[in-house]
């Protein structure tokens, strides 16, 4: 008498070589349990049913022929027809029951887990298709998962339901779109110990940026309770980012963080209920703090980096990963629940640069997290209930509270997706990313603010914030083949202030950042006058005091708020371009601009001409601002020393006199920023005629010069660039201005100092860029939209200059 088939494999018996046996998800769990658990990465134990078990269940019901009949002539885009056929297929498999040998082996394996973890054990029952998580397609989320499963009876029923879920509507549609034969894909059921994240936290970690494909970061999303809320887009999670290269060098710091709303958490159900889990509201205190600590985020980053490295070594190529994790609220441990190759952002073509941009603007109707970097227009179609999906008009923009896996066939026909809830790892985001359509998620109120049938434009091309505009707005798409783009001898750098577009902009061919504007970060992400944070008692406006208190209440002190926000903004730009140089200009607001910051009017004088007033270097050691400058210095010290981003160079703006330059360097040194220590280089803006006239003296203090063409033109020609009346006289191409540029470049070369230009002139006027190249300038820093065309012109010019020699 032959022995029954062996339907069960424990995780320690499996590896990546067993995808055909137990599917991608379970094979990956086995690989990690065998190879990475011994290295200290905690992975709950469990077991998997084999593909053979699935086929035996199917054959008991004569299922292969029956399924062929059910799916013959399938019309997947007919939602009603797909639903009918899917239900028949699921009923067929569920109704077949489980062979006695399979039931007995599942009960025995479950008993082993009970022996290991105790009688109070609950398990998660997850699907794993045998074609799952291939490099060209991810079946993740297509089948069903059952959580908090307790006891043999509930387990066996969940296994049957899981097997039947191979034929969910979404899974049928997915396989049809990718030409997978429905009867050549089997399903393995994974059974693993539930981590008590219902009283802890959970999330998803990616080892790249999901929107741009930037590979030097780990992106961690986190929320309270079980992780299904993040995956399904029910909550807007926290996001924390860690920079991999500096982490590998031993620096342990979170690069940037975004606080999610986290309005709900999924917990175990109690009492008499058919559902084993339920959602409850989070408290205000929970919503108001991050659901993971920095130390926990860094530990998750370490696990993610090691997992990515292991899978990349196995594959023989870089393998960005998509990793689910959970924190057990009882033992406090962080567990890895799943890891699979990321299959969308990592496959984006790197030789073609495609940039979308709006040609016109309109009224912003809603905003949230941007998914992707494209733009689409269409009519609003509100979907408040799954029953409305059958009436969806292809080409419309799907607007809903959230989306569910069964919506995918309809989402495929949408021009864009907008949801009230969710973060960038939610279901709507994942599907939109895979389909290549823009999505704005986590808007909170889009379903209330958008009217059915109205034309709108969804833009995800403006950074991390996605915007929904009223009307059909014109946009353009630029495509550039980078594979044969030549690089000039002159360094081509980028002017950048917005951290939200840093990762995306880093793909533009460049030699680093020639001007990172601190003002943008202060104005957009801090919003408060630095001195108001140091001396809140001197802020006269009660509304301003209340707003400052609201912005800073999560921090140990208002000063810490400024330091963290500024360092994370600058750090994000520096990380995006690592290890290329990033020249950060210290704050250069004018007094009227400072006054518009929250609390600013209590600290700024009213000047007739702020352009040549109390600005730049004059402020830094002055009693009226020295304490604010100290915060800037502490933030930059954190970027360079704690974050390890030593590619940051600092630059002093509007330095009128040599003595003023010395005073600023002394002030910086008092706060730990000593020129020459830790390879710190300090540049100075060359934007005042005195900088050019005394360039030899300034060169003794600073490591390089960056010509500020706007201010140098203003001061050389005596034209207030804020005055529209005399704007006709403002021209960087004036022979006198060009002569100042020439003298600056010559002076820098004479003193063996770096010479660059970061003003607007080279971006606006190709002839200015060409003039500077002829003078032998070291670098030209341009706005991102002018980099490619200016680079090609300079390559041609350098060839002509070489041939003329």
d(Cα 145, Cα 122) in Å, to the nearest integer?
Answer: 14
Backbone angles phi, psi at 457, to 5 degrees: -125, 125
Place of tokens 């995956």: 231
* The total number of residues written for the chain in this structure: 805
Residue 681, CB half-sphere, CA atoms under 13 Å: how many? 17
| C-alpha–C-alpha distance, residues 499 and 571, integer Å | 9
Q: What is the DSSP letter of 758?
A: -
Handedness of CA 709, 714, 717, 721 (dihedral sign): positive
Angle between helices 766-775 and 735-750 (to 10 degrees): 30
Tell whether the torsion through CA atoms of 655, 656, 658 and 660 is positive or negative. negative
Strand intervals (E) in 107-216: 123-129, 145-149, 187-193, 201-206
Closest residue by Cα to residue 375 from 304, 431, 436, 302: 436
- What count of other Cβ atoms lies within 10 Å of the Cβ of residue 445? 11
Rounded Cα distance between 714 and 234, Å, is: 53
Cα dihedral sign for 695, 701, 702, 706? negative
For residue 241, list its beta bridge partners. 219, 256
Residue from 173, 427, 529, 754 carrying the catalytic annotation: 427
How many Cβ atoms are within 10 Å of 489's Cβ, its own excluded? 12
Q: Is 686 a catalytic residue?
A: no
* Cβ–Cβ under 8 Å, residues 713 and 731: yes
Give CA–CA dist 211/346, Å, rounded: 10
Q: Are 499 and 569 in contact (CB under 8 A)?
A: yes
CA distance 728 to 651: 30
- Return d(Cα 765, Cα 9) in angstroms, integer: 68
For the question of residue 243 being annotated catalytic, the response is no
Q: State the catalytic residue, choosing from 162, 460, 655, 758.
A: 758
Please count the CA atoms within 13 angstroms of the CA of 134 that sit on its side-chain side.
12
As beta bridge partners, residue 219 has 206, 241
Element (H, E) at 531: helix 530-534
Give the Cβ contact number of residue 743 at 10 Å: 16
**Residues 377 and 455 sit within 8 Å (Cβ to Cβ):** yes
User: Per-residue DSSP letters for 55-77?
Assistant: HHHHHHTTHHHHHHHHHTT--TT
Residue 247's nearest CA partner among 209, 302, 207, 314 is 302
User: Catalytic residues, which ones?
Assistant: 427, 758
């Amino acid at each position: 008498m032959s022995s029954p088939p062996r339907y069960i494999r424990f995780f320690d018996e499996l590896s990546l070589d067993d995808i055909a046996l137990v599917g991608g998800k379970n094979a990956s769990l086995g690989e990690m349990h065998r190879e990475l658990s011994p290295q200290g990465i905690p992975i709950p134990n469990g077991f998997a049913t084999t593909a053979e078990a699935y086929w035996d269940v199917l054959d008991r019901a004569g299922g292969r022929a029956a399924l062929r009949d059910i799916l013959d002539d399938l019309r997947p885009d007919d939602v009603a027809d797909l639903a009918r056929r899917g239900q028949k297929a699921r009923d067929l498999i569920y109704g077949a029951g489980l062979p006695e040998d399979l039931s007995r082996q599942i009960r025995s394996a479950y008993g082993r887990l009970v022996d290991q973890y105790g009688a109070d054990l609950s398990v998660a029952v997850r699907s794993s298709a045998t074609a799952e998580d291939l490099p060209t397609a991810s079946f993740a989320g297509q089948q069903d998962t059952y959580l908090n499963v307790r006891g043999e009876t509930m387990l066996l029923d969940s296994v049957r339901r899981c097997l039947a879920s191979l034929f969910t509507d979404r899974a049928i549609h997915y396989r049809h779109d990718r030409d997978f034969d429905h009867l050549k894909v089997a399903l393995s059921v994974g059974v693993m110990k539930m981590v008590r994240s219902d009283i802890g936290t959970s999330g998803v970690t990616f080892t790249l940026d999901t929107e741009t494909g930037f590979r030097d970061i780990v992106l961690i999303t986190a929320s309270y309770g079980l992780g299904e809320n993040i995956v399904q887009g029910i909550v807007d999670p926290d996001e924390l980012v860690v920079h991999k290269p500096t982490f590998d060098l031993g620096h342990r710091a979170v690069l940037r963080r975004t606080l999610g709303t986290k309005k709900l958490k999924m917990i175990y159900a109690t009492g008499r209920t058919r559902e084993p889990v339920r959602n409850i509201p989070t408290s205000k205190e929970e919503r108001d703090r991050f659901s993971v600590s920095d130390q926990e985020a860094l530990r998750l980053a370490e696990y993610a980096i090691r997992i990515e490295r292991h899978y990349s070594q196995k594959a023989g190529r870089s393998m960005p990963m998509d990793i689910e994790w959970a924190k057990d609220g009882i033992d406090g441990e962080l567990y890895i629940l799943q890891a699979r190759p990321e299959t969308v952002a990592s496959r984006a073509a790197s030789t073609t640069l495609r940039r979308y941009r709006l040609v016109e603007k309109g009224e912003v109707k809603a905003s949230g997290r941007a998914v992707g970097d494209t733009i689409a227009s269409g009519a609003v179609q509100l979907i408040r209930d799954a029953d409305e999906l059958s009436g969806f008009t292809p080409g419309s923009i799907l607007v809903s509270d959230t989306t569910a896996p069964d919506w995918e066939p309809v989402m495929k026909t949408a021009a864009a997706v907008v949801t009230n809830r969710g973060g960038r790892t939610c279901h709507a985001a994942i599907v939109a990313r895979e389909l290549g359509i823009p999505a704005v998620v986590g808007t909170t109120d889009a379903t209330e603010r958008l009217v059915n049938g109205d034309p709108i434009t969804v833009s995800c091309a403006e950074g991390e914030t996605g915007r929904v505009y009223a009307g059909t707005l014109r946009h353009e798409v630029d495509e550039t083949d980078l594979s044969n783009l030549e690089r000039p001898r002159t360094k081509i750098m980028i002017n950048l202030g917005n951290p939200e577009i840093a990762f995306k902009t880093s793909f533009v061919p460049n030699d680093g950042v020639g001007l990172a504007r601190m003002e943008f970060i202060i104005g957009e992400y801090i919003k408060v006058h630095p001195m108001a944070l140091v001396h809140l008692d001197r802020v006269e406006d009660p509304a301003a005091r209340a707003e400052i208190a609201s912005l800073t209440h999560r921090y140990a002190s208002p000063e810490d708020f400024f330091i963290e926000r500024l360092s994370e903004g600058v750090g994000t730009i520096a990380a995006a371009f690592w290890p290329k140089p990033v020249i950060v200009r210290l704050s250069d607001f004018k007094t009227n601009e400072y006054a518009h910051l929250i609390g600013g009017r209590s600290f700024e004088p009213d000047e007739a001409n702020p352009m040549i007033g109390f600005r730049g270097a004059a402020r830094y050691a002055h009693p009226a601002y020295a304490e604010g400058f100290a915060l800037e210095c502490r933030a930059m010290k954190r970027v360079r020393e704690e974050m390890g981003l030593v590619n940051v160079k600092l630059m002093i703006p509007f330095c009128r006199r040599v003595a003023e330059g010395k005073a600023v360097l002394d002030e910086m040194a008092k706060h730990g920023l000593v020129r020459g220590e830790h390879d710190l280089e300090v540049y100075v803006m060359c934007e005042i005629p005195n900088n050019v006239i005394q360039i030899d003296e300034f060169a003794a203090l600073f490591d390089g010069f960056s010509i500020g063409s706007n201010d140098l033109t203003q001061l050389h020609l005596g034209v207030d660039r804020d005055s529209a009346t005399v704007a006709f006289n403002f021209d960087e191409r004036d022979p006198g201005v060009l002569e100042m540029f020439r003298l600056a470049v010559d002076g820098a070369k004479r003193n063996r100092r770096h010479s660059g230009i970061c003003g607007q002139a080279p971006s606006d006027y190709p002839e200015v860029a060409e003039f500077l190249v002829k003078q032998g300038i070291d670098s030209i820093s341009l706005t991102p939209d002018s980099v490619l065309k200016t680079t090609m012109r300079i390559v041609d010019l350098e060839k002509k200059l070489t041939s003329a020699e």
